[in-house]
Chains A and B, each alone.
Chain A
Amino acid sequence: ETGVTQTPRHLVMGMTNKKSLKCEQHLGHNAMYWYKQSAKKPLELMFVYSLEERVENNSVPSRFSPECPNSSHLFLHLHTLQPEDSALYLCASSQGGGRYETQYFGPGTRLLVL
């Protein structure tokens, strides 16, 4: 595998379910990100991890819980979501979380909450 991978690619869940999204980067990067893209809206940054520490939480509700066990893996744990949380969730990584870095994106997980 190369680049940034995300699983699953599609997910349908009920409001009472608990599920997790997984992201893995094979680029040797030290920073990882979660973004959300809702219909007709720009990509919105959710969380930033640098060297496995969360350095940014962009006012995301607590029903989204990120986890970064090492610099290659990032999870987004989901519980008691709402239908308005249906969106494309994108993971990205960059070299070291510094300035003027290019972020590389995974293909995304398309989430539908019923």
Chain B
Amino acid sequence: DQQVKQNSPSLSVQEGRISILNCDYTNSMFDYFLWYKKYPAEGPTFLISISSIKDKNEDGRFTVFLNKSAKHLSLHIVPSQPGDSAVYFCAATLFSQGGSEKLVFGKGTKLTVNP
């Protein structure tokens, strides 16, 4: 059963407009959330994160919002640029019984920003 869901496999936006990528989770034990970006033939690269004690974190053009009651987070990119075209993965962390932290990923959303 998937604990982190990205229900939109793809998203297309116009350059300069806002991109909104959504992520839902089911496990209320998750307490730290991250967004990774992946270009073809490269590994995922860390973009931005948010702790469960916050509802918003901003870094330049990227803002992540967390709604714990809805178990929902979103990544806003504004303004979107063609170089933002990539696959975006939402991830959540869980502290396992083995004493290590596990990252649980969504399937990803492919963002295309059109010039």
Q: Which residues of A contact B (CB under 8 A)?
A: 4, 6, 31, 40-45, 48, 50, 55-56, 58, 90, 92, 97-108
How many A-B residue contacts, CB cutoff 8 Å?
A: 65
- Inter-chain contact A97/B43, CB cutoff 8 Å: no
- Inter-chain contact A55/B98, CB cutoff 8 Å: yes
Contact with A along B92-113 (1 / 0, CB 8 A): 0101101111111111100000
Q: Whose C-beta in chain B lies nearest to the C-beta of A6?
A: B43
Chain A residues with Cβ below 8 Å from B101 are 97-101
Q: Which residues of B contact A (CB under 8 A)?
A: 2, 4, 32, 34, 36, 41-46, 49, 51, 89, 93, 95-96, 98-108
**How distant is the Cα of A89 from the Cα of B2 in the complex, in angstroms?**
20
Known: A56-B96, A97-B100, A105-B44. 11 other contacts (CB 8 A): A41-B107, A42-B2, A43-B89, A43-B105, A58-B102, A90-B43, A99-B32, A99-B93, A102-B46, A103-B103, A107-B42
- Inter-chain contact B32/A103, CB cutoff 8 Å: no
Nearest chain A CB to B114's CB is how many angstroms away?
25
- The DSSP consensus for interface residues of chain B is strand
Q: Can you list 16 A-B pairs, Cβ within 8 angstroms, ordered by A?
A: A40-B107, A42-B106, A42-B107, A43-B89, A43-B105, A48-B102, A55-B98, A56-B96, A90-B43, A99-B93, A100-B32, A100-B49, A102-B34, A102-B46, A103-B103, A104-B45
- Inter-chain contact B105/A42, CB cutoff 8 Å: yes
- Inter-chain contact B43/A48, CB cutoff 8 Å: no
